[in-house]
Structure 1
Amino acid sequence: MALSLVERLLGLLYAAVIDALLWLFCALSPRGPESNKRLPPVRDPLLLESATQLAQKIRRREVSSVEVVQAYIDRIQEVNPLINAMVQDRFSSALQEASQVDKLIEEESGGEEVLEDRLPLLGVPLSVKESFAVQGMAQTGGSVSKKGRVATVDAPVVALLKRAGAIPLGVTNVPELCMWIESHNHLYGMTKNPYGQDRIAGGSSGGEGSILGGACSVVGVGSDIGGSIRLPSFFCGIFGHKPTPGIVPNENQLPPTSGRQGELLSTGPMCRYAEDLLPMLKIMAGANVDKLSLNKKVDLKKLRFFTLPSCGDALFTNSVSEDLKQAQRKVVERLETDLGVKVEEVHFPELKHSYDMWFVCMGLPDHDGNLPTSFSTLLGEPGPPVWPLWELLKAVVGKSNHTMASILFGLLSKLMNPPLSALKIKEKLQQDFEELLGTDGVLLYPTFPRVAPKHHHALFKIYDLIYTAILNVLGLPVTQCPLGLNQDGLPLGVQVVAGKLQDHLTIATAQYLEKAFGGWRDPGAN
C-alpha cells in the first residue's frame, strides 16, 4: 500500500523538524574530548577462542581457568577505559573462583565427559547486563535514584550459568531503566562502540554489545523487549539471540515488567561466536529446554528461505541504507549458490503499523485488568513519579538526574495514543507469519535502517526501532548475525527469523552465515 501524498508531506516535514532538533541538541550538548582512537588489537590467542573451545581446553587441562580469566581481565583493563562498557567488576572473586575450578579439575576422577555433561561452561568467563541481579554487584538499571542498590541474590538465568561453571567478570552498562537504544545514563556515563567511539553501542544491552565486540568477553547475558539484544549485537558486530518468549526465565531484572509486557520480553545469549549460541541457550532455558528442539540436527538445504527487504511505507521511518540492502542481497545469493535453495522475496503491508502495534502491546493491562506501571513512575522509584516536562526544563540547565532520552520517552508515553485497531492488524500479521514460516521457514529482515549511528543521533528517530520491535510483538525467535564491515569499518548485519519454538533453525543459519561471512571481526585489526 503506497503512502498518500499527505503522508509523504508529513514524513518530509517530520524529517526536517527532527533534523533541526538534532542539530540544536548536539550543538547545545556539552562535549568532552572526543576520541576515536582505534582499540588495541587482540594479542592473546585465548581471546580468540569460543566459549565452547575454552571450556574443552580447560577440562583437558590444556589451559587453566585462571589463565583464561586473567587474559580477559587484562583485556578489559586495556580496552574498557576507551569504551566504558563494564561498569563494575568482580575480578578478585573471579580469579578465586577460577582457581577453585582448576582444583576441581585436578581432583575430578570421572573424566572429561562427566565434567562436560555436568558443567559445560566450567571455568569460562561471562559478562552480564547490569539490570540483572548478580549477587554482590550493583543492580540499578542505570538510574541515579537507585545508586547503591546491590543485588543480594542471582537472577535465575545468572544462577543457571554459574551452575554450569561460568564465572562472571562484572556487569555492563545500560540506558536509564533500559528503555533506549543508546547506553547512556547519569550514573555510569556513555558506552561507546568498539568499532568507532563516536558511535553508539546500542541498547538496552549496549554494555554487553560493546564488551563482547571489543573482545573483553566471550559470552554474555542480555534481554530484549523491543530489540535490546539484537540492536547492540548488530551495532557491535556480534551474534545475539532473542528466544521464543517464555522459554528463558526473565525474573529479577530491572525494570520489572507489568501489564502484559512480559509477553514481549525475552532474555537470551549474546556471543562473539555462533557456536556458543546453542550451548548458552540450552543452559539459560533451564527446565524449559525440552520445549525447544535444540538437539535436532538442521539440514539447511531442506528449509524454505524468505527475504523481506524493508518495512515498506512506514511513516517517519528511515529507508534501509544501500550498504545494508547489499549485505542482505549477498546473503540471498550465498544461500542460493551454496545450498541450492530458492530465496523468495516477500512483503507485508501491515508492517507500516509496526510501531503502533508495539506501543499498544506495551500498554495492555494484564489478565486481571491491571495497567502496566507508567515509565514516569518507574523513573521516580523509590520516590514519587517524575514529571517529564519539569525534568525537560531542568535538563536544559543541566540539573536533571535523567537523560534526555528517558525524559522524551516519558513524554512520548504520556502523549502517544495509538489506535486499538493496531491489535487487529497484529492478529492478522501473526497469522500471516505463522503460515509463511511454519516449522521449516527462515526469514531475513533488516535489524535497523542504518549502521551504528553517532552519539545522540538516534534520539529523535525512535520509529527506526520498528524493525526489531515488531518481532517482539509477533513473539518469534530471532538471531542477529554479523555480515562483515562496511567501507567505514562499521558492522553490517541481518536478522534471521523463524516460527515459534523453532530457535534451532535461526541458530543453525547463524552458524552457516558465520562461515560464509567471517562472523565477528577484531575491531583493532588493521
Structure 2
Amino acid sequence: MQIYSACGAITAPQKHKVTLQPAERECIPTPVTCVEVVEAYVERVREVNPLINALVKDRFEEALQEARQVDKLLSEGPDDDSLEEKFPLLGVPITVKEAFSLHGMPNTSGLVSRRNVIATSDAPVVSRLKQAGAIPLGVTNCSELCMWFESSNKVYGRTNNPYDLQRIAGGSSGGEGSVLAAACSVIGVGSDIGGSIRMPAFFNGVFGHKPTTGVVPNDGQFPIAQGARTSLLCTGPMCRYAEDLEPMLRVMAGSGVNKLKLDEKVSLGKIKFHCMDHDGGSIFVSPVDKEILQAQKKVVEHLKGELGVQVQPVAIHKMKYSFQIWSAMMSCKDSDGQEAQLFTDLLGDHGKPVWPLWELMKWLVGMSSHTLPAIALGLTEKLVKLNPAGNAKLVSMAKSLQEEMEALLGPDGVLLYPSHPTVAPRHHSPICTPFNFAYTAIFNVLGLPVTQCPLGLSSEGLPLGIQLVAASYNDHLTLAVARYLEKAFGGWVLPGQV
C-alpha cells in the first residue's frame, strides 16, 4: 500500500503568506495561503484516515475558519519579525492526542464510560500551542487509559501503521505517530509514562522527544498521574522533521524552557558518545532484532568516521531490571505519601471499580467494554504490591541507576540505545511480549531527556530508529544529534517509497 505526502513541514510565516515545503525539501518553497495549507491537510486526512484510523474526531470547519483569520492577520499585520516572535507556529496544522483536553473535542482516553465526555477547556500545552498560532485539526487515537503499546479501544477501534496496515502504530500516542507518518499533520502532542511518545515515533518512523521530567506541564489530560507516577509522566512533541522538535518544545514548556539549554550552541565533535546494544539480557524482554542492531552500528561507525569522535561501549548492569524497576516505581507512593490510583478504579472512572476477573469472563464471550490488555493489567497490578521488600529494593536500585547514569553522561554525554527490541509488531502480538516497552520505560524512571530518531527502513519496509539519551536538562544535546542523524540517514521516509 502506498501513502503519498500531501505536503511537508511549514517554515516560519512570512508577511502575506505561509510557506509550504515539500517532503523532500529539495525545491524552492512555494508561497501559499494558510487556508490552502489547511485544506491540503484536510484532504490528506480524508484520503488516508479510513485506512489508518488515526484521527478519531476532526474540527475541520473550525480549523479552516482559524486559517482564514491567519490569512487576514498576515495581510493586515505588522512586519515579519514581530509576527514570528509573537506567533512562532502561526498557521501550522497540528494534531493532539485524544487524552488531552482540546476544547469541543472528546476526551475519553478510549474508555467507553467516558464516550460522552467533551472537553470544555484546553490542556495547558494545547493552549500554549494555540496561542502560538497553531491550528488543531482534531484529536488522535490512543490505547485504553493510555496504558498499552497498541492504540486500540472500544470507543474508536484500532489504529494501523501506515507502512503496513497489519502492524501496530504503537501506544499510547499511536494515533499521533500514525497521523504524522502518513503526512496528515505537521506536528503533534503526545504524552509518555513508559515510552508512549517514543514507541509510536519509532514504529512509525518519525521523531519524538520525551523532555526532562518536570519541564512541560502534564495537566489537562486523562488519566492524570498520581503518586510516584507524577515523576514518570512527560508531555512532549512529535513530528516528521527533527528541526520542528525544538520550536515546539519551547512553546510547550513555556517559562519552564528556562531550565533547558536550548540556546546553547552544540559542538557535535565535543560530545562524549556512549552506546549500549541491549539491556543486558532481561528474561522478560525480547532480544533486540538484528536489523535494529545493525542500524545502531551504522550510527556508531558514522559518528566515528565523519565526526572523528570516540563512541564508548558501556554495559550498565541495572538496565537488565528495567521492567521490574519501572513496575515498582509505578506502584509506590510519592514523597508526600500519596499512592497512585489503582487501574481498576480508573477503568470504573469515578464509578464502581472494575472486577478484572469478571471482565475477563465477559470478554471471552464478547460482552466486555474493555480491551484485553486493560483487563490483564487490572488482573496483575496488585501482584506488584505482594512483595514490599522486593519493591523497596527496586526503588533503591532506581535511585542508584539514576546516579550512575547522570555521572556517566555528565554535561556533554549522549547515550545511543535501542528504541524497542523489535520493529513494529503485527496487531495483537504485543500481548505475547508485554514487557518489551521496558527499553523506553526505564528513562521515565530516570527522568532523563530522550529523543527517538528514525534511521530508515528494515528489509520489510518498516521503520528503524534509535534513542538518544542525555543527562537531565541537556535536551539540547539529543535534539542536536537528532538533527545531525536526520541529515546523515534521511529521517522520515514516505510510506510506500520502498
TM-score range, shorter chain: over 0.9
Structure 1 residue 258: Cα displacement: 0.8
Q: 3-state DSSP class of the match of 1:372? A: coil
Contact persistence 1:144–1:401 (CA under 8 A): yes
Alpha-carbon deviations, 1:52-79, whole Å to 9, x = none? 3577994579221101000000000000
Q: Does 1:473 align with 2:445?
A: yes
Structure 1 residue 313: Cα displacement: 2.0
Q: Does 1:524 align with 2:493?
A: no
Partner of 1:96: 65
Aligned-CA RMSD value: 1.3
Q: Does 1:504 align with 2:476?
A: yes
Partner of 1:439: 411
1: distance between equivalents of 2:429 and 2:155?
21
Pairs within 5 Å for 1:360-399? 360-399=328-367
Partner of 2:173: 205
Tell me which amino acid in the other structure corresponds to 1:52. Answer: T
| Equivalent of 2:44 in 40, 55, 75 | 75
Q: Does 1:274 align with 2:275?
A: no
Identity %: 55
Structure 1 residue 414: Cα displacement: 1.9
Partner of 2:400: 428
| Equivalent of 2:2 in 32, 39, 57 | 39
Q: Does 1:225 align with 2:188?
A: no
| Equivalent of 1:324 in 289, 292, 299 | 292
User: Cα gap change, 1:98/1:476 in structure 2, threshold over 3 Å: closer, same or farther?
Assistant: same
Q: Does 1:173 align with 2:141?
A: yes
Contact persistence 2:14–2:80 (CA under 8 A): no
Alpha-carbon deviations, 1:279-326, whole Å to 9, x = none? 000100001111111111111001100001000121121110100000
Partner of 2:23: none
Contact persistence 1:55–1:124 (CA under 8 A): no
Structure 1 residue 416: Cα displacement: 2.6
2: distance between equivalents of 1:342 and 1:429?
24
Q: 3-state DSSP class of the match of 2:238? A: strand
Worse-matched range after superposition: 347-356 or 303-312: 347-356
- In structure 1, stretches of 5+ residues that fail to align are 1-37
- In structure 2, stretches of 5+ residues that fail to align are 20-29
Pairs within 5 Å for 1:12-411? 38-42=1-5, 44=6, 47-48=7-8, 50-52=9-11, 58-59=17-18, 62-108=31-77, 110-411=78-379
Structure 1 residue 146: Cα displacement: 0.3
Tell me which amino acid in the other structure corresponds to 1:39. Answer: Q
2: distance between equivalents of 1:432 and 1:85?
39
Q: 3-state DSSP class of the match of 2:50? A: helix
Q: 3-state DSSP class of the match of 2:209? A: strand
User: Cα gap change, 1:90/1:494 in structure 2, threshold over 3 Å: closer, same or farther?
Assistant: same
Structure 1 residue 233: Cα displacement: 0.1
Q: 3-state DSSP class of the match of 2:484? A: helix
Structure 1 residue 98: Cα displacement: 0.2
Alpha-carbon deviations, 1:446-484, whole Å to 9, x = none? 011100000010013122111000000111000000000
Tell me which amino acid in the other structure corresponds to 1:77. Answer: R
Tell me which amino acid in the other structure corresponds to 2:100. Answer: F
Contact persistence 1:231–1:447 (CA under 8 A): yes
Alpha-carbon deviations, 1:347-381, whole Å to 9, x = none? 01111111111111111213332211100000011
2: distance between equivalents of 1:352 and 1:221?
31
Contact persistence 1:260–1:366 (CA under 8 A): yes
Partner of 1:30: none
Q: 3-state DSSP class of the match of 2:283? A: coil
Contact persistence 2:15–2:75 (CA under 8 A): no
Q: 3-state DSSP class of the match of 2:431? A: coil
Contact persistence 2:16–2:74 (CA under 8 A): no
Contact persistence 1:51–1:219 (CA under 8 A): no
Q: 3-state DSSP class of the match of 2:436? A: helix
Contact persistence 1:39–1:82 (CA under 8 A): no
TM-score (norm. length: structure 2): 0.95
Structure 1 residue 185: Cα displacement: 0.2
2: distance between equivalents of 1:385 and 1:312?
38
Q: 3-state DSSP class of the match of 2:148? A: coil
1: distance between equivalents of 2:334 and 2:257?
26
Partner of 1:11: none
2: distance between equivalents of 1:57 and 1:63?
9
1: distance between equivalents of 2:232 and 2:102?
23
Contact persistence 2:3–2:162 (CA under 8 A): no
Contact persistence 2:12–2:88 (CA under 8 A): no
Contact persistence 1:58–1:122 (CA under 8 A): no
Q: 3-state DSSP class of the match of 2:71? A: helix
User: Cα gap change, 1:466/1:414 in structure 2, threshold over 3 Å: closer, same or farther?
Assistant: same
Q: 3-state DSSP class of the match of 1:306? A: strand
User: Cα gap change, 1:231/1:463 in structure 2, threshold over 3 Å: closer, same or farther?
Assistant: same
Partner of 1:515: 487
1: distance between equivalents of 2:244 and 2:287?
33
Contact persistence 1:212–1:238 (CA under 8 A): yes
2: distance between equivalents of 1:56 and 1:301?
38
